[in-house]
Structure 1
Amino acid sequence: MTAKPMTKTQLVATLAEEMGSDKKSASAALDAISAVITREVSNGGAVTLPGIGKVFTRERPARTVLNPATGEQIHKDADKVVKVTIAKALKDSVNG
């Protein structure tokens, strides 16, 4: 069984401890990072978080999908999805 994911409150507290700062500054830093990533990715760019991974958008072409409830085929328009590729250093730290 896996542990529960860290909540934002827990993340802010841990970040403040690591930074040697108060929770207000840590929360502001986390919010700023989130805002930068959101702005860049929504504008079609990509953001690399060193040691963690890369956040970017990928375009999906128009396609035909199957409605699982009715079995009916439905046309789905092209859209964009947010993707995250995990850095090798993080993968290695988990597996090694």
Structure 2
Amino acid sequence: MNKRDLIDAISDRLGDKKTATEAVNAVLETIQETVAKGDKVAITGFGVFEKSERAARTARNPATGATINVPATKVPKFRAGADFKERVNKGA
């Protein structure tokens, strides 16, 4: 499912595609802005979105074998909640 499919699924429930599009965009933008600031977004039963820091490291190019210095970076991270994990394990 991509973003368009998600909007279609939500518009089926709400009855209005414009409202569904605005809702999906608002939720995603709010999560992105909050995590980018360094705060955590915890949705009970669903999961937690947060910023994680990766330390600088030395990697190896598999094609040439040359070593590469990879700088430290910040990445988004998601941890699924218990209800989400349970639903995935049940398959529905």
Structure 2: gaps of 5 or more residues: none
| Percent identity (aligned) | 37
What are structure 1's unaligned runs of at least 5 residues?
A: 1-5
The runs of 4+ residues in structure 1 deviating greater than 3 Å are none
Distance 1:76 1:23 in 2: 43
Partner of 1:51: 45
Tell me the matched-pair count: 90
The reply on whether 1:12 has 2:7 as its aligned counterpart is: yes
TM-score (norm 1): 0.84
Q: Could you tell me the TM-score, scaled by structure 2's length?
A: 0.87
Q: Deviation per CA, 1:14-67, whole angstroms, max 9, x where unpaired?
A: 11222x341100110000001101101111111112322111111111111111
Alignment RMSD: 1.3
